[in-house]
Amino acid sequence: MTGLQVSPFSPAELLLRAQSEDERDWVPAAMDGVWMRPLLFDTVSGAWVNVTRLEREGFISRHAHPCPVHAYVLKGQWRYEERDWIAKAGDYLLEPPGDIHTLIGLPGGSDTLFWIGGALIELDENGNTLGHADVFSRIEQAADHYEKVGLGRDHVKQFIR
């Protein structure tokens, strides 16, 4: 293959430690004991990739996604209230579009890599929408956190493609 070249319009590659040792890289979620480590904010496809760290047991979130979600459990375990399985370290999960599930943290915590397309729609127990997150709200959430912990709002730019 001769003459093959990288386009000057192609974004830069991205290599990061998924489980950063710098605690400032972990963005707190809306609930105590839940953290997100951003890895990619894909503003063209509307997707984002992060490691979600659960350090609490019990109810975390009831939600749905209009697009597929891919998950790979790095350590620990968790489950969905509506399912009879437990996601354990080394497990891969594909959540089909439209699936509704309730994330439950289990003893010992967990770290899971999630690739989320579209949005996360937060639901109450009756299926009513409480709120949502998308790639842009996640960027703002991370930028606010990085500014607060002294890394600066621009720290988030390294994850944006």
What is the pTM assigned to this prediction? Answer: 0.93
Q: Could you tell me the residue range of the domain that residue 129 belongs to?
A: 24-159
Structural domain count, the chain: 1
In a domain, 19, yes or no: no
Cβ contact 135:114 at 8 Å: no
In a domain, 87, yes or no: yes
Compute the distance between CA of residue 4 and CA of residue 22 in angstroms, rounded to an integer.
38
Q: State the CATH number of the domain containing residue 65.
A: 2.60.120.10
pLDDT value at residue 30: 85
In a domain, 90, yes or no: yes
In a domain, 144, yes or no: yes
Mean pLDDT of 71-86: 98
In a domain, 54, yes or no: yes
Compute the distance between CA of residue 10 and CA of residue 76 in angstroms, rounded to an integer.
36
Mean pLDDT of 83-109: 97
pLDDT value at residue 1: 56
In a domain, 51, yes or no: yes
Confidence band for 6, pLDDT divided at 50, 70 and 90: confident
In a domain, 10, yes or no: no
